[in-house]
Chains A and B, each alone.
Chain A
Amino acid sequence: MGLCRRYARSKAEAEDMFQEGFIRIFQQIHTIEQPDRLLHWMKRVMVNTAINWYHKHHHEQAETDYEEAFETSTNDHVELLARISTEELLQLVQQMAHGYRMVFNLFVIDGYTHPEIARMLGISEGTSKSQLARAKDVLKEKLKSIGIVSYGSY
């Protein structure tokens, strides 16, 4: 469910994704050849479900949020990362645009390479790399904005 929360935009969408992923798992569980890798296989199925979900529901939507990233010269975002809770961090990830969120999750959290991401999402490697860079910039900026609010409330 945690994996679905990362890939989904909201908790409700994560629950739907979670159910759909488990239905696939139940339907395909007889095809497992290495039972000791069950968890890895389930995670892979869930990721694939999230990607399918993205293609099905979000791919045709125009990107409506254009977070303008800009170069940061400070390392505040590293410090801020240690100060916020995981739930808050997850909310920041969910607030990112669909494409950014997908590439960010696949590369940074789940450890896929850019060629794999490009193949799974149907994009070029360059797009995957640029979207990752922009996603990281956007996330840093969001972390900084939280830091500003926190700074003001001290």
Chain B
Amino acid sequence: MAATDDEWERLLRRRLEEYESEPESDPLSHILARANPAPSPGRRVPLSRRSRLLGWSAAALAVLTSLILGVGNYLSTDKAGEPGSSVAVRRLKPVVPQPENFGTGLPSARPAAAASNFLTDASGRAPAAGPNDAREPSYSQPSGNRLQPQTERIEDRLAPAADHASVGFAGRTPVTPWVGENRVERDRLSSTADDPAPAGSASPAENRFILAADRIAFRPLHYPALTTALPEPAYRAPAIEPERTSRKPSLFAGVMPLYTFRKVTPVRQDEVVMEKIQPATSLSSRAGWRLQLGAEWPLSRRFGLRIAGVYQQLQQQMAYTARSARPDSSRMEWIDAQTIRVVPLYKSQEKQVKTTWRYVALSAEGRLKLNGGGTAPMGLQHSLAAGLSVGYLLTDRHRQPWQPSVQASYGIERRLTDHLRLQVEPGIVYNLSAISDNSRCFNVRPYSYGMIVGLRWKP
């Protein structure tokens, strides 16, 4: 038998060793073309890996950009909030009615009132008012119908001063509210009350006042001292209320019950064949949850940036059958004297697996307000949010523990109190890369639908 085998092998070698075959197409051109290829720009990256790299790069870039924008905006907001900054007051509402003698060469009542309120002596007390005004300052709430009579009273009170100060103010239009220096105002009013000067001649105090007014006239309208100097003892003039967009971050916390779908792909293995894959569809086998805590920075009136820490848990259950790739046994049947039929036999085993994934993530997403309903007492504010999360798997030592995902949601927010709002946001979370299950037999790419229910606290 051994001799026969050797002889058989020798026959085979003789037949096949010198076997010649000609290629069908012209191989030389192909060989030469491939032997001297054009210099490639770099290593070829497979398409799947390229898309994965692209996704990771986009996620990292988005998170980085969001962080830079958010922090930069927050810092600039802090700087804008400092006293004296011109950015702090965004829009001023000049609701103070113009006095009747505006442009007549007389100082308007409002600046005079402001100046009288602004006066303090060296001891810090309010100075003595004119003879017609012995009242103590009261900071009652202003009302529109009180403006006119009080303006007239102030004009009456300052009429003597206006008479002899008209030279100093001739030709000057008090377009800028007065924010006088204390000494100048004191000099002026003291001269008004005690030392009426003849018309046409300016006292030294008035000259100083004019000089001071020249300096003050070019101060910006929104000089912060103005807002503190405006209240008048008898009434509080309608303050120039700045409409300030709150740039302080609001804090939010929410929980999101999830219902998870997934794309299951068996891992190709040499020794095991998996069949009859049946993922469980019951709610208990697919439910998960996502907890997020974070802060939201308003970047503009309608757009904000959310940065949150996330803890997420997903699970899946599935059943499948596994068998060896090679048959466990064979059945042989004699067809005739020279033919045998061999039927391979396999033994299948049914398996049920339950996998739970837990991971923590850092989430960054933009939130666009669709309406201004949040400013109404009980209004609903609608918004759209979308962003990215980069998570780290806590369970199962996976080859890729970092899991990027994208999420999007439509939010409805209701104002509960001045500071507290209730958020309800149906949304979707889609994992960008696949996770393996505990048995490492399947790659699973989950995508989950859920609803965030949370609270937002706005300071």
Contact B16 A6 (CB under 8 A): yes
Contact A68 B24 (CB under 8 A): no
Contact A89 B30 (CB under 8 A): no
Residue interface mask A1-15, B partner, CB < 8 A = 1? 110111000010011
Contacts of B31 in A (CB 8 A): 19, 22-23, 26
Contact B344 A66 (CB under 8 A): yes
Cross-chain contact of A1 among B23, B34, B338 (Cβ < 8 A):
B23
Contact A78 B7 (CB under 8 A): yes
Which residues of B in the span 201-234 have a Cβ within 8 Å of any Cβ on A? none
Contact B16 A90 (CB under 8 A): yes
B: number of interface residues (CB 8 Å): 39
Contact A81 B24 (CB under 8 A): no
Contact A14 B21 (CB under 8 A): yes
CA distance A5 to B16 in the complex (A): 10
Query: Does A136 touch B at the CB level, under 8 Å?
Result: yes
Min Cβ gap B18→A in Å is 7
Min Cβ gap A135→B in Å is 11
Contacts of A109 in B (CB 8 A): 12-13, 16-17
Cross-chain contact of A66 among B5, B16, B327 (Cβ < 8 A):
B327
CA distance A26 to B340 in the complex (A): 50
Query: Does A63 touch B at the CB level, under 8 Å?
Result: yes
**Contact A22-B11, Cβ < 8 Å, known A6-B16, A60-B270, A66-B327:** no
Which chain A residue shows the least CB distance to B23? A15
CA distance A9 to B344 in the complex (A): 24
Contacts of A6 in B (CB 8 A): 16, 19
Contact A86 B326 (CB under 8 A): no
Contact B9 A108 (CB under 8 A): yes
Contacts of A4 in B (CB 8 A): 21
Contact B5 A22 (CB under 8 A): no
CA distance A2 to B16 in the complex (A): 8
Contacts of B330 in A (CB 8 A): 68
Cross-chain contact of A136 among B5, B7, B30, B268 (Cβ < 8 A):
B5
Contact B19 A90 (CB under 8 A): yes
Contact B326 A66 (CB under 8 A): yes
Min Cβ gap A83→B in Å is 12
CA distance A18 to B28 in the complex (A): 11
CA distance A104 to B13 in the complex (A): 10
Which residues of A in the span 108-154 have a Cβ within 8 Å of any Cβ on B? 108-111, 136, 144, 148, 151
Min Cβ gap A51→B in Å is 17
Query: Does B20 touch A at the CB level, under 8 Å?
Result: yes
Cross-chain contact of A86 among B19, B338, B342 (Cβ < 8 A):
B19
Cross-chain contact of B8 among A5, A81, A93, A151 (Cβ < 8 A):
A81
Cross-chain contact of A62 among B35, B268, B339 (Cβ < 8 A):
B268
Contact B338 A2 (CB under 8 A): no
Contact A2 B344 (CB under 8 A): no
CA distance A108 to B10 in the complex (A): 8
Contacts of A77 in B (CB 8 A): 8
Query: Does B4 touch A at the CB level, under 8 Å?
Result: yes
Min Cβ gap A64→B in Å is 8
Contacts of A2 in B (CB 8 A): 16, 18-21
Which residues of B in the span 383-406 have a Cβ within 8 Å of any Cβ on A? none
CA distance A144 to B340 in the complex (A): 11
**Contact A78-B30, Cβ < 8 Å, known A1-B21, A1-B23:** no
Min Cβ gap A28→B in Å is 11
Which chain A residue shows the least CB distance to B31? A22
**Contact A26-B4, Cβ < 8 Å, known A19-B30, A93-B16:** no
Q: Which of B16, B270, B326, B332 has the most CB of A within 10 A?
A: B16
Which chain B residue shows the least CB distance to A59? B270
Query: Does A75 touch B at the CB level, under 8 Å?
Result: yes
Contact A81 B4 (CB under 8 A): no
Which residues of B in the span 336-369 have a Cβ within 8 Å of any Cβ on A? 338-340, 342, 344
Min Cβ gap A35→B in Å is 20
Min Cβ gap B338→A in Å is 6
Contacts of A81 in B (CB 8 A): 8, 11-12, 15
**Contact A19-B4, Cβ < 8 Å, known A70-B342, A90-B16:** no
Known: A78-B8, A110-B17. 8 other contacts (CB 8 A): A1-B23, A4-B21, A5-B21, A15-B23, A62-B269, A66-B326, A93-B16, A109-B17
Q: What are 24 A-B interface contacts by the 8 Å CB criterion?
A: A2-B18, A2-B19, A2-B20, A4-B21, A11-B21, A15-B24, A15-B25, A18-B27, A19-B31, A19-B34, A26-B31, A60-B268, A62-B273, A66-B344, A70-B340, A75-B4, A77-B8, A89-B12, A89-B15, A108-B9, A108-B12, A109-B12, A111-B13, A136-B9
Task: List the interface of chain B (C-beta within 8 A of A).
Answer: 4-5, 7-9, 11-13, 15-25, 27, 30-31, 34-35, 268-271, 273, 325-327, 330, 332, 338-340, 342, 344
> Which 4 residue pairs are nearest across A and B when measured between Cβ atoms?
A68-B342, A2-B19, A1-B21, A26-B35
Task: List the interface of chain A (C-beta within 8 A of B).
Answer: 1-2, 4-6, 11, 14-15, 18-20, 22-23, 26-27, 60, 62-63, 66, 68, 70, 75, 77-78, 81-82, 86, 89-90, 93, 108-111, 136, 144, 148, 151
